[in-house]
A and B are shown apart, each in its own frame.
Chain A
Amino acid sequence: QSALTQPRSVSGSPGQSVTISCTGTSSDVGGYNYVSWYQQHPGKAPKLMIYDVSKRPSGVPDRFSGSKSGNTASLTISGLQADDEADYYCCSYAGSPRVFGGGTKLTVL
């Protein structure tokens, strides 16, 4: 299976909102409600931010939200903060394999 498609980079100013897209196919993103999102700061392990398309683990601020339409999932971060600057990866179940996106670098201007 191919990697999910994410924009290489997005940016926003503090306080603004940004949305990161994750496009797959009907065999992965479109076929299951099992999309997750991960935040990775440089030199650190990824951290789960969203699972099952739109659920937030305990401790993740409600500024982070997820959604899905057809074969495209989205992560929206509202009220941008400096610490949100990181790489973000989507991941989808694909009927046994799990497929990651190529990653998006979020820059907080």
Chain B
Amino acid sequence: QVQLQEAGPGLVKPSETLSLTCTVSGYSISSGYYWGWIRQPPGKGLEWIGSIYHSGGTEYNPSLKSRVTISVDTSKNQFSLKLSSVTAADTAVYYCARDDPWYFDLWGRGTLVTVSS
């Protein structure tokens, strides 16, 4: 079955860039769908960060757009998130998900990223 797995540093310093990858197994990203990133600060709700189409087109949350880059590497069957100039407010569990669209039908288990010096 299709599975998604996030990977990346669990600790990032303020003002630096947060980088995460999502590896997809059981399905070839190049075959279709959007692929998205969603985050959840501790004890708070979900926030959509952005999504990328398999061919590379992107859509971003307007409130994060200036700091976000999502890319896809079909050769590795991965897509990635970069969030620049992070602050403590970016501390969250980051999920990758398949964006059908416009609903998220498959999710990774999530990875906690803490922004702290």
Task: Please report A residues at the B interface, Cβ cutoff 8 Å.
Answer: 1, 3, 32, 34, 36, 38, 45-48, 51-52, 57, 89, 91, 93, 96-103
Task: Please report B residues at the A interface, Cβ cutoff 8 Å.
Answer: 36, 38, 45-48, 51, 59, 61-62, 95, 99-105, 107-110
* 5 interchain residue pairs of minimum CB distance: A36-B103, A93-B102, A51-B103, A45-B107, A34-B102
Check B45 against A100 for contact (C-beta < 8 Å): yes
Give B101's nearest chain A residue, CB to CB.
A93
Task: With both chains docked as a complex, state the minimum distance between the C-beta of B49 and any C-beta of chain A, in angstroms.
Answer: 10
Check B62 against A1 for contact (C-beta < 8 Å): yes
Check B46 against A89 for contact (C-beta < 8 Å): yes
Task: With both chains docked as a complex, state the minimum distance between the C-beta of B74 and any C-beta of chain A, in angstroms.
Answer: 23
16 contacts between A and B (CB under 8 A): A1-B62, A3-B45, A34-B101, A34-B103, A45-B107, A46-B38, A46-B95, A51-B100, A51-B105, A52-B103, A89-B45, A91-B48, A93-B102, A98-B99, A100-B38, A102-B45
Give B109's nearest chain A residue, CB to CB.
A45
Check A46 against B100 for contact (C-beta < 8 Å): no
Given contacts A36-B102, A93-B101, contact A101 B45 (CB under 8 A): yes
Give B65's nearest chain A residue, CB to CB.
A97
Check A91 against B103 for contact (C-beta < 8 Å): yes
B-side contacts of A48, CB under 8 Å: 103-105
Q: Give complex CA distance A100, B51 in Å.
A: 14
B-side contacts of A89, CB under 8 Å: 45-46
Q: Give complex CA distance A70, B109 in Å.
A: 34
B-side contacts of A38, CB under 8 Å: 46, 104
Check A97 against B102 for contact (C-beta < 8 Å): no
